[in-house]
Amino acid sequence: MDTARYGRDFASLQFAATTPGILELVIANKGRLNAATEAMHRDLAQVWRTVDLDDAVRVVLVRGEGSNFSSGGDFDMIERMIEDETTLLRVWKEASDLVYNLVNCSKPVVSAIRGSAVGAGLAVALLADVAVAADNARILDGHTKLGVAAGDHAVLIWPLLCGLAKARYYLLTNKTLTGAEAERIGLVAVAVPDAQVIEAAFDVARTLAAGSGSAMRFTKHALSNWLRLAGPSFDTSLALEFLGFRLADVREGLAAAREKRRPRFGGVPDAS
């Protein structure tokens, strides 16, 4: 497996291949809880097309560097989206590509979720075919707290995974779930103690890599039709999210996030 090629083509991400057939994709942004920079957001959108065509890859295991998965889009990228129309439109297209390219990638994807998983990082974590989370992981969609609609992946897959009532509750209130609670409601497949997450994810990846490649690909393709059926709802949510980047609330949401305080939308403090 040519991990050097992946490193050249998607330089914001890290790659390894210590197990035959398994490509390890690592989200890394040291000191920033692996927040997604503009380059990383672009690479996370496009890498799945290359994986899809790479015969050497049977399974992808995606994780964050160290003890966190990803804290979502970094503040600098969000500020540029607010201020610059060209950036906003480009990231909108990338956000759509990230979701659809991952859903349409023929190779199974396993995610290993430790620590914080938020926003765009959470989209990758939960769109994986098998999500393995630490029981103390902190899962948060994050959009409504920022002051924009829950776009990205959430409207596409949360109602299918955990039901509409739970999706409404967590996406509207923006409350954090632990990995254990996420497993209980069906948002992730497996929750294990934090120290066991990586090995548990590799166990799943090795099982998938050892199976019939065509059976894995065809089963994933058929199961993904459930997500494709929700495509119009996802497209609407994404458009409404990016509309929000042109409204006043997102400026307050970003200021609150930078200052590590609760936002005050309409003068009312966040009670979460």
pLDDT tens-digit series, residues 19-46: 999 999 999 998 888 998 999 999 999 9
Cα dihedral across residues 111, 46, 230, 150: positive or negative: positive
Residue 137 has pLDDT above 90, yes or no: yes
Query: Does pTM surpass 0.75?
Result: yes
Return d(Cα 182, Cα 143) in angstroms, integer: 18
Report which of 262, 258, 264 is spatially closest to residue 272, judged by C-alpha positions: 262
Alpha-carbon distance values, 157 to 121, 160, 170, 216, 241 (Å): 15, 5, 13, 20, 16
pLDDT in tens, 68-123: 999 888 889 999 999 999 999 999 999 999 999 999 999 999 999 999 999 889 99
Q: Are 79 and 31 in contact (CB under 8 A)?
A: no
Radius of gyration, CA atoms only, the chain: 18
Average pLDDT of the chain to the nearest whole number: 95
Alpha-helical (H) ranges within 186-230 are 197-210, 213-223, 225-229
pLDDT in tens, 169-207: 999 999 999 999 999 999 999 999 999 999 999 999 999
Residue 268 has pLDDT above 80, yes or no: no
Residue 267 has pLDDT above 80, yes or no: no
Return d(Cα 143, Cα 81) in angstroms, integer: 14
| Predicted local distance difference test score (pLDDT) of residue 217 | 96
* C-beta atoms surrounding 31 within 10 Å: 6
Partners of 190 in the β-ladder: 132
Residue 32 structure tokens: 């920033």
Return d(Cα 236, Cα 179) in angstroms, integer: 28
Residue 272 has pLDDT above 70, yes or no: no
Residue in this structure with the two tokens 């596409």, named with its chain if needed? 156
Return d(Cα 30, Cα 67) in angstroms, integer: 11
Q: Are 258 and 147 in contact (CB under 8 A)?
A: no
Residue 270 has pLDDT above 90, yes or no: no
* C-beta atoms surrounding 102 within 10 Å: 26
Percent of the chain residues past pLDDT 70, beyond the cut: 99
Residue 215 has pLDDT above 70, yes or no: yes
Return d(Cα 85, Cα 116) in angstroms, integer: 29
pLDDT in tens, 160-174: 999 999 999 999 999
| Predicted local distance difference test score (pLDDT) of residue 271 | 65
Query: What's the length of the chain?
Result: 272
| Predicted local distance difference test score (pLDDT) of residue 146 | 94
